[in-house]
Structure formats: structure tokens, C-alpha cells
Structure 1
């Protein structure tokens, strides 16, 4: 299928678009006032924020996979995030 295999596993959560989406949601929820302290409030907040992600952003995260893959390979599997 033309997929180039990398000889080491990626250790970067940035390589996975869903991790990036989850981090976006975590940030939005942590900024909420009042903060959702109960399990039910947290669940509702996650659903609201998940549904609020624009389709354009989702498509962009998916389209970035190739460039993230190349960067991950260049860094030999190290985390792509600064810091």
C-alpha cells in the first residue's frame, strides 16, 4: 500500500490527531467557570466541547498526519511538543 514503516514506535502524543483534539477539549474545560466538578458535569462538558470542534479543524488535524509523521521520523520518535 506504499506505507513506509518506521523502525521505532512513536512516543509523541502529537502524532495522533485524537490526542490533539482531546488536549484542545481539556484546555477548554479547564477554562470553564464554573468548572465541572462532578462526573456528570464533566461528561456533559466533554460532549459539548467535542461537538463544538469545527469540521475544518478536524480535517486539518487529519491532513497534518503526513507532516507529523515526517517530523516524528526526523526526530527518531521523540515527542514533537516543545518543552
Structure 2
């Protein structure tokens, strides 16, 4: 199955992900939703990438920064992430799953 032709959404169940607008948009664009249990361990490497971005933006951002400057800061931070970092996170998946199994589904360092 080609993920670009048949995307599947995995979300964390946050209220914004369950809004009528979000659900309608997802359905209109034929994006199916993965069934994911509440309070499940989050092993998705994107979460680590968001943390990397958050730390970097916080180092650069000043509370008085104008919105356009802040948007630029976020884009600049995204552009600075190198492919090696992304590949490392992806390649860590077997370790993440192994750790989850060893912890019998309980919290892991990931």
C-alpha cells in the first residue's frame, strides 16, 4: 500500500484531534485513523523531533518577538535539522519496541 495514496493518521487523542472540523477534514480527504489506545506508550520518533525543535526554538525565541519573527525562528529551526538526526530516530525503533516489550508495555525512556 502506498502511504501517499492511502495515508493513515496516528494521533494522541488530544481534544483538537477529535473536533468535528478535524474529523470532517480527515474524512473529506480519505485519511483513515489508526486505532490507538489511550495512555499508550508513545514511541513515535516524531515526538523526539518535536522536543529537539522546542529546545532550539526556546534558545532563540524572546517573549517580545513579533509573530512573523517567531514563525521565521520556527522555520529556521526546522530547516536546521539534519537528515542524520531523523535517520537516527527512525533507526532507534527496534530498540524502542524491545524496551517496551521488556517493560511489559509500561513507561520506557523513549
Q: TM-score, normalised by structure 1?
A: 0.68
Aligned-partner Cα distance in 2 for 1:20–1:56: 14
The structure whose Rg is larger is 2
TM-fit CA distance, 1:37: 4.4
Ranges in structure 2 where 5+ consecutive residues have no aligned partner: 1-36
Say yes or no: does 1:46 pair with 2:74: yes
The structure where helix makes up a greater share of residues is 1
TM-fit CA distance, 1:23: 0.2
TM-fit CA distance, 1:73: 1.7
Say yes or no: does 1:77 pair with 2:105: yes
Query: Once superposed, what is the RMSD of the aligned Cα atoms?
Result: 2.7
Q: Is the 8 A contact 1:36 1:45 kept in 2?
A: no
Which of 37, 41, 44 is matched with 1:12 structurally? 41
Q: TM-score, normalised by structure 2?
A: 0.54
Equivalences, count:
74
